[in-house]
Amino acid sequence: MNTVGQLLLHPHELKDVIQYKLYHERLHPWDLENEPEDVQECYKLLKMTSRSFVRVIEDLNPELRKAIMIFYLVLRALDTIEDDMTIPNEVKVPILNEFYTYLDRDEYHFDGNGPNEKDRLVLVEFNYILREYKKLKKPYQALIQSNCQKMGEGMAKYCEDKQFNSEGIKTLAQYDEYCYYVAAIVGVGLTEIMLEADFINPAIKEHPELVDSMGKFLQKTNIIRDYREDLEDGRVFWPSDIWAKYTKNNDISEFTKPDMIQNALYCNSELVCDALRHAPDCLLYLTCVKDQSLFDFCAIPQVMAIATLELIFRNPEMFKRNVKIRKGTAVSLIYRARSVRSVCEIFLEYAQRIHERVTSDDPNYLAIEIAYGKIQQTVESIFPSQLPVEGKVVSTAGMSYQQIQTLKKRGPNAKNQEQPSKSELVNLYAAFGLSFLLIFGSLTLAAWMMGARFDLVWGDISKMII
Amino acid sequence: MKVLIFGGAGFLGKHLQREFTNKGWTVSIADVTSGDVIVDLLDAENVKQAVLDVSPDVIVHCASPPAEHKNEKLFYAVNVDGTKNVAEAARAPSVKAFVYTSSASVVFNGADLINANEDYPIANPPFDSYTDSKAKGEAAALAADEWVPTCAIRPAGIFGEHDRQVIPGMLQVMERGQTRFQIGSNNNLFDYTYAGNVAYAHILAAEALMEQERSKLARGQAFFITNMSPIPFFAMPRAIWAHCGHTPSSIIKIPKDLGIIIGGISEIVSYFTGREPGLNRFRIKFSCAVRYYSCAKAQAILGYTPKYTLEEGIKRSLAWLDETKKEK
């Protein structure tokens, strides 16, 4: 169904779509037309390769906007080489391994991509990217380069891996490793860049598993969703240790057969459950991001992923055709995902729907319920709905995040600090009294100097009293 | 290392036996009717002598009458006075650490417990005499920290082999054909904890108490212990029924308020018939309550993470039930 038809069926999403199309206000206003030609060309390339990313990148804090744009394009260039089946491995592997060194050159471009490669222009016109790269602050250059190296080497490894190329991904550990190389490294790089710019809590350095989960959650969701598309392209990314359990003849295309649908759905739920286990880490990661524009940048793909995961969970349609979340849903999510609290709410909402749909005949029933429980518990650890204070358990309903944090910090036994201590009270009254005397005194003095007859007033008052 | 386990012949005691033995400890069991030493917990001299005879490095005290017994006097006698006797006996020179098995229910006052931690106050007023006796027992045990490094383990919702309550109760529902009923939304999380993990936490606690540095953090403390996987209340029975090959054909959801009315009627009916009601208001509220805990403190200080998953716990428990049936 087309977008317009979908919107007519879901009118509550219409407002958001119109607002998004027409009245979108940038967090950090700027105008592309005032930028130099190289930058404009880079944005053209960006628009060409990824329509969904342009908006969030354009909205980024100016400190990191260019760095992240270049980082994205460099990785896109690598990906375009890796993805192109017309390039033989003898050419491809050295390029992937050395690509990061090309960033040190003054000039580089590559026109060896096949004519049908949709993003080939990124490599043909790589010089625009290279020139802008050189203008970035040195630390950002270094981080882009080191992560480009990791990514390129990872890709080269998979190109040369005979077992991977003939049998695909086998174990769950290999599946995790694959997702690390193709997706999590992007998150690692972004996190390092954000650390450099002080846009993320440095505590994140002690929790690399949170960073990993950000990319893995997205990648795994896409891999599950793209079953049909990948099958038609003759590719399989589902780990065979998992899917083979649910087939009869060890053939993943069995899942498209109507009589195998129950098995297909059990397999689907095992993979969704595995992806869902990354959700708590993603929420914790997002609590560390300090800058609003970077928060949006990180949070939007995550809420899309949880919504997609819910859509494909035990969805038989997924084995017949490509399924995607509605455009309207996507736009509504973009609008909602502006704070840790609302992202937590979105995650809970979708996770709850998964929990409500799973039935106990599913071999992954308990595992899914555990994953759902973990998400609830993680949200509770971020936004506790009750706290022990002064020997009582109090509900935090209606409290702001700040109020909850203050209560949390104060600890369970602290006296209510809203009541000032005695010495504070004495000081307060003294200050009040002093300023009163000062003002009263100066006003009286001013009145007297202007000729007020206090002697008469005093006489009147004494008469009244006597 | 030698451990003396009071109540070692009971449900949790058997798990403690196994876990300590697997870790290479020498285990002595002290219990009322069976074990290496027959002890009457209410006889202070008797308890003291048992400790002197065994001369253990560590004392674990997990003896407690089951909560279902509803024998108030026995609760207070064993859980409070008995614990005082064990605490006194822990003055014996050989003893380096004392671990008391408390209960997570000591902070339960009838209201929801949402990711509760050890900062939550002891329920006041207490929920019932059992939880009250466990809270007072815990206080009595922790008082021993003045003379021997002591801590308390507070497990939540224990199940496992040798348990005649949790899983057998759920299987009974299946045998009665009542699996389709669900009261409340079933979004409420609940902690079910495999007994093997609880036992394992006792070992970690004993080890922590005997290490110089960590002992400072662990001494005099209570720790919640769960499987660290809270799940919706009805997920546990359904998972167990599924293991037995049964899936409810459909689910009939009864709203909580309606459930309470039904529970009330059932109580009135049972009053006249004189039979124990299958449903009562307490059970309805229990199945709709949120009741789960944070293990962050045990993780940080004791280095605790569950050794057995829920799935493993369920499998082991069901296998044991099968075996006991065969023996009959």
List the CATH number of the domain containing A131. 1.10.600.10
Q: Is B238 in Cβ contact with A412 (below 8 Å)? A: no
Considering the domain boundaries, does residue A170 fall inside one? no
- The answer, yes or no, to whether residue A81 has pLDDT greater than 80, is yes
For every one of its 328 residues, what pLDDT tens digit does chain B have, with 9 covering 90 and above? Answer: 999 999 999 999 999 999 999 999 999 999 998 889 999 999 999 999 999 999 999 999 999 998 777 889 999 999 999 999 999 999 999 999 999 999 999 999 889 999 999 999 999 889 899 999 999 999 999 999 999 999 999 999 999 999 988 999 999 999 999 999 999 999 999 999 999 999 999 999 999 999 999 999 999 999 999 999 999 999 999 999 999 999 999 999 988 888 888 888 888 888 888 777 667 787 888 888 899 999 999 999 999 999 999 999 999 999 999 998 888 7
CB distance from A230 to chain B under 8 Å? no
> Was domain B2-163+192-230+292-308 assigned CATH 3.50.50.60?
no
Same domain, yes or no: A349 and A224:
yes
Residue of A nearest to B231 (CA): A373
- State the greatest distance between any 2 C-alpha atoms of chain B, in Å, as a whole number: 62
Sorted by where each begins, the domain ranges of chain B are 2-163+192-230+292-308
**A235 & A375 share domain:** yes
Domain range enclosing A126: 31-160
Tokens of residue B249, six digits: 């054909």
Residue-wise DSSP of B232-294:
ETTHHHHHHHHHTT---SS-EEE-HHHHHHHHHHHHHHHHHH-SPPSS-HHHHHHHH--EEE-
Higher-pLDDT residue of A396 and B143 is B143
Q: How far apart are CA B148 and CA B51, in angstroms?
A: 14
Yes or no, beta carbons of A365 and B242 under 8 Å apart: yes
Which band of pLDDT confidence, cut at 50, 70 and 90, is reported for residue A361? very high
Specify the pLDDT at position A7.
67
Cβ B232–A377 below 8 Å, yes or no? no
Interface-testing mutation among B114, B227, B251, B294, with chain A (most A C-beta atoms within 10 A): B114
Contact A393 B111 (CB under 8 A): yes
Any idea what DSSP says for residue B122?
A: P
A440 located within any domain: no
Q: What is the DSSP string of B43-69?
A: -HHHHHHHHHHH--SEEEE-----GGG
What is the pLDDT at residue A416? Answer: 47
Exposure on the CB side of residue A200, measured as CA atoms within 13 A: 29
- Say yes or no: A378 and A303 in one domain: yes
Q: Are residues A245 and A334 in the same domain?
A: yes
Q: Which pLDDT score, from 0 to 100, does residue A39 have?
A: 87
DSSP type of residue A318: G
Confirm if B148 and B326 have CB atoms less than 8 A apart: no
Q: Are B59 and B3 in contact (CB under 8 A)?
A: yes
pLDDT of residue B327: 81
- Shortest distance between the Cα of B64 and any Cα of chain A, in A, equals 27
Residues of A whose CB is below 8 A from B232: 355, 369, 372-373
Last residue of a domain, one of A383, A398, A428: A383
Residue A413: what pLDDT?
Answer: 66
Tokens (6 digits) for A229: 């598309």
CA distances from A31 to A28, A34, A46, A56, A128 (A): 10, 6, 16, 15, 19
CA A84, CA A99: separation in Å to the nearest integer? 15
- The answer on A269 and A142 residing in a single domain is no
**pLDDT at site A332:** 92
Stated length of chain A: 466
pLDDT score for A418: 47
SS3 label, residue A374:
helix
In terms of CA atoms, which chain B residue is nearest residue A381?
B115
The torsion angles phi and psi of B150, rounded to 5 degrees, stand at -135, 145
% of chain B beyond a pLDDT of 90: 79
Q: Which of residues 404-423 of A touch B (CB under 8 A)?
A: 411-413
- B235 against A426, higher pLDDT: B235
Burial of residue A419, with CB atoms counted within 10 A of its CB: 0-12 exposed, 13-18 middle, 19 or more buried: exposed
Pick from A353, A383, A413: which residue ends a domain?
A: A383
Q: Which residues of A are catalytic?
A: 178, 225, 235, 297
**A437-455 pLDDT tens trace:** 888 888 878 877 777 777 7
- Tell me which of A350, A383, A416 is where a domain ends: A383
| Active-site residue (options: B14, B84, B134, B297) | B134
Q: If you average pLDDT over residues A397-410, what whole number do you get?
A: 82
* Residue B125, preceding peptide bond in cis (omega within 30° of 0): yes
pLDDT tens-digit series, residues B57-81: 999 999 999 877 788 999 999 999 9
- Residues of chain A above pLDDT 70, percent: 93
φ/ψ region of A86 (left if φ > 0, alpha if ψ in -120 to 50, else beta) reads alpha
The average confidence (pLDDT) of chain A is 89
Task: Looking at the structure, tell me whether residues A101 and A214 fall in a common domain.
Answer: no
Nearest C-alpha in B relative to A408: B119
Q: Would you state the structure tokens that stand for residue A245, as one six-digit string?
A: 């359990």
Chain A residues with CB under 8 Å of B310 CB are: 366, 370
Q: Answer left, alpha or beta for residue B169, where phi above 0 means left and psi between -120 and 50 means alpha.
A: alpha
Residues A137 and A47 in one domain: yes
Look up tokens 């595995």; give the residue. A274
Q: What is the ipTM of this complex?
A: 0.94
φ/ψ region of B205 (left if φ > 0, alpha if ψ in -120 to 50, else beta) reads: alpha
Same-domain pairing of A149 and A234:
no
**pLDDT in the model for residue A421:** 56
> What's the mean pLDDT in A391-410?
84
Domain assignment of residue A42, yes or no:
yes
Tell me the residue length of chain B.
328
> Domain count of chain A?
2
pLDDT at A208 over 70: yes
Averaged pLDDT, A240-257: 96
The C-alpha atoms of residue A281 and residue A277 are separated, in whole angstroms, by 8
Please report residues of B whose CB lies closer than 8 A to that of A365. 235, 238-239, 242
| pLDDT tops 50 at residue A162 | yes
Closest CB to A366: pick one of B115, B121, B310: B310
- Would the CA dihedral through B115, B119, B123, B125 be positive or negative? negative
- Tell me the Cα Rg of chain A: 30
Which of A3-7, A113-117, A269-273, B317-321 has the largest mean confidence?
A269-273
What is the per-residue pLDDT for A3?
A: 66
What pLDDT, on a 0 to 100 scale, did the predictor assign at position A414? 57
**Quick one: average pLDDT of A75-99?**
93
Helix or strand holding residue B37 (H, E): strand B37-38
